[in-house]
């Protein structure tokens, strides 16, 4: 490795340690979790051909551990964290038994996801606002990078995985943006998270900042050219509106949704064309191939059908002809991925994990869980380290309603509560 890079990395680590020591103890966990969000967006690459991911993962774990040492948290854990810990423990055991996924990654990925969830579970109200502000700020930075990527750079920062993909929202004139996330769908999911956060506004931003954050994140969705992500965000916002406890707010939400449907039915905004193009695209046929693989996956020998060979063993499924996909070796369906690699038990564990997380979540996190759950149908989300870490963090965050053990954030109505 370049000695200059080593020296620069050492200086950066020293600067972070000094900063963490200087941060007040009451804010240290919020700073650490915010650093994990930044690391997930800019450094926790899954397929990029560099050696940065281990360094980012270890540095982030160091920051989180330092935060635990210095913090004055009265509590950590909770049901949400318990669900996260149980899920990654189950996945880790399968990996260690199957040996298809590097054991080092068990620490760098699963260990980091569990640790960030533990620290996030004890955040106070002020720290939660910091984390939500970081999500909005990172989304804005990623959208800016996406604009430069499309208009200036010859290709994205981490290159194209599986070839260039054109944006259907602009008539395939430009490539789909991906920021530093390696893939347009991962970029879109992060922007979708930022949209839901801005819509819900748990950080109590002013209306001006809320609308600005919402607009920037929505622009990121458009730049990603990801139709499934837009549908998932719509589902998340619908869940958020339907969970409004105020009858008046619920009526307003119903009217807003009704108005949107009327507009979409009476104004030609190209939805029919987009749907037609989607059905006729290789993306659609590729995902149908995942569903067509179900009979063969279920008809494997009993032990394998029930337990699989562990997370990360999808290539073995392709080698044996069990996956009916010829376009590329990507399952692109989290449910099929879980069934194929971890068996019926693994799929059941994933569904149980999500059900428990949804039951104990507040209104915002239920909307975010709905977004990710919707994406499971068209993307193997947990194969991307950044997504696994961010999802684990969000599931473990404390509630911000009346049932939360931390001081509640004063509820401010969303744009259409």
pLDDT digit string (tens) for 335-386?
Answer: 999 999 999 999 999 999 999 999 999 999 999 999 999 999 989 999 999 9
CB 77 within 8 A of CB 353: no
With respect to residue 130, please indicate whether it lies within any of the assigned structural domains.
yes
Q: How many domains does the chain have?
A: 1
Mean predicted confidence (pLDDT) in 176-203? 94
Mean pLDDT over all residues of the chain? Answer: 84
With respect to residue 109, please indicate whether it lies within any of the assigned structural domains.
yes
Tokens of 324: 């009916």
With respect to residue 63, please indicate whether it lies within any of the assigned structural domains.
yes
1 band by pLDDT with thresholds 50, 70 and 90: very low
| pLDDT for position 332 | 87
Residues, the chain? 417
DSSP 401: S
| pLDDT for position 24 | 87
Mean predicted confidence (pLDDT) in 396-414? 57
With respect to residue 210, please indicate whether it lies within any of the assigned structural domains.
yes
CA distance 267 to 246: 31
With respect to residue 335, please indicate whether it lies within any of the assigned structural domains.
yes
Q: Give Cα separations from 185 to 138, 199, 264, 312 (angstroms).
A: 16, 21, 24, 20
| pLDDT for position 9 | 60
| pLDDT for position 21 | 77
CA distance 211 to 63: 32
With respect to residue 216, please indicate whether it lies within any of the assigned structural domains.
yes
Tokens of 141: 């930075």
| pLDDT for position 257 | 60
With respect to residue 416, please indicate whether it lies within any of the assigned structural domains.
no
Q: Which domain holds residue 170?
A: 19-281+328-396
pTM of the model: 0.86
Which of these, 60, 49, 40, 61, lies nearest to 180 by C-alpha position? Answer: 40
| pLDDT for position 415 | 47
| pLDDT for position 401 | 67
Quick one: what percent of the chain has pLDDT higher than 70?
A: 79
With respect to residue 369, please indicate whether it lies within any of the assigned structural domains.
yes
- Angle 57-60-65 from CA coordinates, rounded to 5°: 125
């Amino acid at each position: 490795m370049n000695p200059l890079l080593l020296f620069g990395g050492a200086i950066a680590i020293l600067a972070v340690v000094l900063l963490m020591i200087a941060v007040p103890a009451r804010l240290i966990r919020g700073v650490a979790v915010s650093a994990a969000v930044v690391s997930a967006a800019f450094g926790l690459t899954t397929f990029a051909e560099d050696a940065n991911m281990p360094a980012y993962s270890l540095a982030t774990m160091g920051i989180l551990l330092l935060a635990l040492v210095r913090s004055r948290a009265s509590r950590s854990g909770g049901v949400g964290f318990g669900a996260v810990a149980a899920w990654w423990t189950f996945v880790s055991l399968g990996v260690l038994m199957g040996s298809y996924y590097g054991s080092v990654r068990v620490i760098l990925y699963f260990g980091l996801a569990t640790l960030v969830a533990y620290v996030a579970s004890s955040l106070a109200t002020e720290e939660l606002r910091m984390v939500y502000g970081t999500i909005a700020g990172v989304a804005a930075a990623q959208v800016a990078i996406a604009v430069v990527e499309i208009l200036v750079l010859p290709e994205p920062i981490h290159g194209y995985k599986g070839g260039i993909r054109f944006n259907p929202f602009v008539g395939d004139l430009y490539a789909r943006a991906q920021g530093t996330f390696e893939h347009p769908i991962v970029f879109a999911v992060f922007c979708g998270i930022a949209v839901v956060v801005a819509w819900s506004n748990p950080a109590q931003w002013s209306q001006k900042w809320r609308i600005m954050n919402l607009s920037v994140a929505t622009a990121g969705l458009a730049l990603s050219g990801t139709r499934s992500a837009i549908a998932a965000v719509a589902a998340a916002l619908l869940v958020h509106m339907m969970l409004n406890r105020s009858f008046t707010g619920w009526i307003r939400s119903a009217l807003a949704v009704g108005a949107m449907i009327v507009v979409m039915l009476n104004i030609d905004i190209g939805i029919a064309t987009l749907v037609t193009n989607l059905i006729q695209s290789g993306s659609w046929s590729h995902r149908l191939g995942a569903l067509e693989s179900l009979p063969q996956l279920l008809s494997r020998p009993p032990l394998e059908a029930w337990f699989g060979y562990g997370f990360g063993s999808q290539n073995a499924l392709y080698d044996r002809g069990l996956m009916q996909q010829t376009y590329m070796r990507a399952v692109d369906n989290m449910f099929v991925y879980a069934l194929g690699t971890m068996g019926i038990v693994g799929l059941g564990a994933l569904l149980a994990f999500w059900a428990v997380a949804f039951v104990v979540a507040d209104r915002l996190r239920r909307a975010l869980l709905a977004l990710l759950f919707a994406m499971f149908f068209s993307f193997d989300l947990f194969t991307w380290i950044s997504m696994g870490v961010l999802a684990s963090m969000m599931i473990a965050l404390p509630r911000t309603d009346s049932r939360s053990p931390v001081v509640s954030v004063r509820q401010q109505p969303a744009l259409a509560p």
